[in-house]
Amino acid sequence: MDHPRAAEVDHLLTLLRQSPALALRQLDSNAWWAGAGSLAAETMADNPGLPESEWALEVRAFRTLLIEIGEALQAKGAANPGIGSWLLAFNNWNASEV
């Protein structure tokens, strides 16, 4: 994937196999959930030139993935305060097809 954060996410996949607890801490970090600059904020990135319908599907799939990750983190007792706000926004945006 050609994205500045792709290597970070790829590293997390390796880390999940080697140290699940450390991977969960990284998933619960500000880098993923704390406002501008977070991975969650990447769902608001500008369309890089894809057809609008394709871009909308990509963004919706990304939001849905982050919803699943955020809900799983909350079920495990995640503490990052940004998770709840992002989950609310993602669910509302997906429901209204924004």
Domain that residue 16 falls in: 6-95
What pTM, to 2 d.p., does this model score? 0.88
- 24 φ, ψ (degrees, to nearest 5): -65, -40
Q: Which residue has the tokens 């919706």?
A: 60
How far apart CA 38 and CA 16 sit, in angstroms, is: 20
How far apart CA 82 and CA 75 sit, in angstroms, is: 15
Count up the domains in the chain and report the number: 1
Inside any domain, residue 36 = yes
Confidence band of 7 (pLDDT split at 50, 70, 90): confident
Inside any domain, residue 84 = yes
Inside any domain, residue 1 = no
- DSSP assignment letter at 42: G
Query: What does the pLDDT look like over 18-50, one tens digit per residue?
Result: 999 999 999 999 999 998 889 999 999 999 999
Confidence band of 53 (pLDDT split at 50, 70, 90): very high
How far apart CA 39 and CA 95 sit, in angstroms, is: 21
